[in-house]
Chains A and B, each alone.
Chain A
Amino acid sequence: MTAATTTNRDADTAAVRRAISSTPRPPRPGRLSNAVAFGWRGMLKVKHVPEQLLDVTVTPVMFVLMFTYLFGGAIAGSTSAYLDYILPGILVMSVLFTTVYSGVALNTDLTKGVVDRFRSLPVWRPAPLLGALLGDSVRYVIGGTVIIVLGLVLGYRPDGGAAGTVGALALVVVFSFGLSWVFSVLGLLLRSPNAVMNAGFMGIFPFTFLSNVFVDPTTLPGPLEEFVDVNPVSTLATASRSLMGGDPDVSAIVVSLVTAAVLAAVFLPLTTHLYRNR
């Protein structure tokens, strides 16, 4: 036990009575204000539990190093040429992996009594969910930034410059915002945080690896190439690669944004419904 448990002053009944009688009920805040308050909660958690960030950044960092130096020469002729190809892809992968943790965090929340308090408050129903995602997107940005900085250290120089790089990161974060609702639904349906983690990665792994994140799909056998081509992760990787490469692929960008919007349109109401009726 830590020192905090030794601090045990008594409650002061007179002060309690004063505190109870001193506040009239303030006017009810708006929806956005509710969501922002929950977003603040999400960010406080990033601050208090920084090891969560470590979880989601270590794997992608390992992938960058391993793939670049192990396969780079074989796949693209040189490590620096492969870094140009793989870095935007790893950016996509690392942020998408982080979205699984949105569902895990939601499920963890549900095992605690604090959700009962939130649900008994007069706040906008989806606010806790939206707020959590606001906090999560901070995590996405940090995770993505780590990959980009690592790339720069290893000698990656994007032709798209700062604007293209920031654009790619923004696109990936927006896409993840849409995708994370899928994992929120899993988080509400499954029994334990571990089950959410397992199911989430079972879903996200094939989509990430059977894409153009690591290799050019033209070398793949026919049916696999077809899957890789329609895989939204490929489209997103293509879009971010084009942004960072300084030659934006407008159709890939638009398709990625539409995919994110469709995912959100389907899974956000489902999430809200499940959260309300638990």
Chain B
Amino acid sequence: MTDRPLAIEATALAKSFGSTPAVQHVDLAVPPGTIYGVLGPNGAGKTTTIRVLATLLRPDSGSARVLGHDVVAEADQVRSLISLTGQLASVDEELTGHENLTLLGRLLGLRRSSGARADELLDAFGIADAAGKLVKHYSGGMRRRLDVAASLVVTPQVMFLDEPTTGLDPRSRNQVWDIVRALAAEGTTVLLCTQYLEEADQLARGIAVIDRGRVIAEGTPAQLKSSVGRSVLHVRLLDAGQRPAAAELLERAVGQVVLEADPAGLLVHGSEADRAAVAVAELAAAGIGLAHFSLDQPSLDEVFLTITGRSAGDEADDPSRALQEQPS
């Protein structure tokens, strides 16, 4: 082969547990050196997919290769190319942070330098002060960073990250994002499973949307958004009291109006630019003052809604899903 092999290639992957299908048909093609997002709600089959790719589970059918090596037949070669940061913290809570990293260094052949490597990583990840503390006493953000550091004791060519920011505060989440970007900048391919649309949008160059064990859409964030087609008109009024009048006018001029949580906010799906322009002019002509208006591309959440006909999840704490919480 003269071409560089794909970093990750999955063909018609399927895996069931008993009679419950976890993954029904997953195809993936991830070029090397990119961050690739696998996006879907809880129970969509993301973790099962990652576990098959990381050689922890055998697929029932279909095949998968990592940098050209089959995950079943050449599992051992695959393991020497990858790192896994699982959904459960994949560090030993009864050891200290330093011991965790030193253990991995020894297992991977760093020998005497494994302690120094542990120090270097702990320092870079901002956990040097807690190096000698047992991991069970770490905060969530520190544990996650240690978990990511543990995957980098020897730099992997492909890294699997299963929901790396679930349960983290925004500051810790941003730090993990920075680390993931740094990794990709150094040439590591990152497969990122997430249920946060914003996370995939922020980090990934390519995204596969997965639902009920199947890839239901695939492309760049921009492609996915344009596949939904039309844009969204957002309007915020100066006077919330005028909202009913504004809603009536927009309904007539453009289409079905959704009232936002902000009492002065409205949005209209499926606005074409010229009709939106006319509608905004009509609002002004009717004496309805605007604080702000914009015509935006649809969010990934709207993409998910369009493809599956339902919302991506039920977590109310995710700001990127605020749209679904509105009565429409």
A29 touches B109 (CB 8 A): yes
Chain B residues within an 8 Å CB radius of A34: 107
B107 touches A116 (CB 8 A): no
**Chain A residues numbered 1-27 whose CB sits less than 8 Å from any CB in chain B:** 1-2, 4-5, 7-13, 15-23, 25-27
| Bound form: Cα–Cα A128–B137 in Å | 24
CB distance from A24 to the nearest CB of B (A): 8
A113 touches B88 (CB 8 A): yes
A27 touches B109 (CB 8 A): yes
A9 touches B128 (CB 8 A): yes
A122 touches B117 (CB 8 A): no
The residue that B90 contacts in the complex, of A11, A17, A49, A114, with Cβ under 8 A, is A114
A113 touches B56 (CB 8 A): no
Interface size on B, as a range, is 35 or more
A117 touches B90 (CB 8 A): yes
B306 within 8 A of A: no
**Chain B residues numbered 248-284 whose CB sits less than 8 Å from any CB in chain A:** none
Chain A residues within an 8 Å CB radius of B152: 19-20
B310 within 8 A of A: no
| Bound form: Cα–Cα A163–B306 in Å | 79
**What 1/0 mask marks residues of chain A from 40 to 60 whose CB sits below 8 Å from any chain B CB?**
110011001100000000000
B92 touches A114 (CB 8 A): yes
| Bound form: Cα–Cα A120–B87 in Å | 14
A202 within 8 A of B: no
**Chain A residues numbered 94-120 whose CB sits less than 8 Å from any CB in chain B:** 112-114, 116-117, 119-120
A65 within 8 A of B: no
Max chain A C-beta neighbours (<10 A), residue from B88, B92, B150, B183:
B92
B3 within 8 A of A: no
B186 touches A17 (CB 8 A): yes
**What 1/0 mask marks residues of chain B from 102 to 120 whose CB sits below 8 Å from any chain A CB?**
0110111111000001001
The residue that A29 contacts in the complex, of B83, B99, B106, B138, with Cβ under 8 A, is B106
B27 within 8 A of A: no
Interface-facing stretch out of B174-182, B207-215, B293-301: B174-182
CB distance from A21 to the nearest CB of B (A): 5
Interface-facing stretch out of B139-147, B216-224, B239-247: B139-147
Chain A residues within an 8 Å CB radius of B124: 11-12, 15-16, 18-19
CB distance from A34 to the nearest CB of B (A): 6
A123 within 8 A of B: yes
Q: How many A-B residue pairs have CB under 8 A?
A: 159
**Chain B residues numbered 81-105 whose CB sits less than 8 Å from any CB in chain A:** 82-84, 86-95, 99, 103-104
Chain A residues within an 8 Å CB radius of B154: 23, 25-26
B79 within 8 A of A: yes
Given contacts A33-B106, A41-B95, A48-B95, contact A120 B134 (CB under 8 A): no
| Bound form: Cα–Cα A110–B175 in Å | 29
B325 within 8 A of A: no
The residue that A22 contacts in the complex, of B120, B125, B137, B141, with Cβ under 8 A, is B120
A121 within 8 A of B: yes
B137 touches A5 (CB 8 A): yes
Nearest CB in chain A to that of B58: its residue: A277
| Bound form: Cα–Cα A15–B124 in Å | 5
B126 within 8 A of A: yes
The residue that A20 contacts in the complex, of B84, B91, B103, B183, with Cβ under 8 A, is B183
| Bound form: Cα–Cα A114–B91 in Å | 5
CB distance from A65 to the nearest CB of B (A): 31
The residue that B145 contacts in the complex, of A11, A27, A44, with Cβ under 8 A, is A11
B121 touches A11 (CB 8 A): no
Given contacts A20-B182, A37-B103, A123-B107, contact A117 B137 (CB under 8 A): no
Given contacts A11-B175, A19-B121, A21-B186, contact A26 B138 (CB under 8 A): no
| Bound form: Cα–Cα A5–B99 in Å | 18
CB distance from A48 to the nearest CB of B (A): 6
| Bound form: Cα–Cα A37–B108 in Å | 10
The residue that B86 contacts in the complex, of A11, A29, A113, with Cβ under 8 A, is A113
B106 touches A2 (CB 8 A): no
The residue that A28 contacts in the complex, of B80, B83, B133, with Cβ under 8 A, is B80
| Bound form: Cα–Cα A55–B121 in Å | 36
B91 touches A120 (CB 8 A): no
The residue that B95 contacts in the complex, of A45, A117, A122, with Cβ under 8 A, is A45
A122 touches B80 (CB 8 A): yes
Chain B residues within an 8 Å CB radius of A12: 123-126
| Bound form: Cα–Cα A40–B109 in Å | 15
CB distance from A80 to the nearest CB of B (A): 42
B84 touches A116 (CB 8 A): yes
B155 touches A16 (CB 8 A): no
The 5 listed contacts between A and B (C-beta, < 8 Å) are: A16-B124, A17-B182, A25-B155, A26-B110, A122-B76
- Ordered nearest first, which 10 A-B pairs have the shortest CB separation? A113-B88, A15-B124, A122-B80, A9-B126, A117-B90, A26-B109, A37-B106, A113-B90, A122-B79, A4-B137
Q: A4-B133, A114-B92, A123-B107 are in contact. List 12 more A-B contacts (CB 8 A).
A: A8-B126, A11-B124, A16-B124, A23-B110, A29-B108, A37-B103, A41-B103, A49-B94, A113-B90, A116-B84, A116-B90, A117-B104
